[in-house]
Chain A
């Protein structure tokens, strides 16, 4: 999940 959250920025 951490990686997924990591790219939540544009």
Chain B
């Protein structure tokens, strides 16, 4: 464990907590893409298959449980909670995210480190996570007014993967044989997808104006 990875995990945890806080306290999911939340629940479900088979550390198991429970409960809130579901704007959240699942799965079948079920599901979760934010970014472009919590949520989600890139660089230089192109490239693609959001988020913060994404 290095500081970059710990910071990355804490930032990721913060993004999930910000979202849960928003949904639970103000009972609203305005501006949040259910499709991105469903994709993230699938990412965690396919990535943490080894939750009960490989014990790495208490921290690792605990964080996996937190991410699994939080992502599925967010999906439940938006789908079924009698008040929250009313604020879900399904007419705007129209990204056909199922079109993301199949290509990622096919790619995982072709490009992976080992042709086993667990490894293919793990690789699938990496590719899927890289594109999972797309429905949310599309929704942000459509709903002009991005409230603070939603903006912070997306920012933290992008920041966590950026910190992971620093973690991979650190591990590459400090650990022999630590070379994982699949993880690095999908992590890089994921972070690049946030690039323009980061730019506008930083501009709004610097000029102290409301976050607006160009149509």
Q: Which A residues have a C-beta under 8 Å from some C-beta of B? A: 2-4, 6-10
Interface residues in B10-66 (C-beta closer than 8 Å to A)? 12, 50, 54, 56, 60, 63-64
Name which residue of chain B comes closest to A9, CB basis: B5
A7 to B119, CA, bound (A): 10
Q: Mark B154-192, 1 if CB is under 8 A from A, else 0.
A: 000000000010010000000001001001000000000
Knowing that A4-B54, A7-B54 touch, tell me 11 more A-B residue pairs with CB under 8 angstroms: A2-B177, A3-B114, A3-B119, A7-B56, A9-B5, A9-B164, A9-B167, A9-B183, A10-B60, A10-B64, A10-B67
A10 to B68, CA, bound (A): 11
B196 interfacial contact with A, CB 8 Å: no
Smallest CB separation, A10 vs chain B (Å): 5
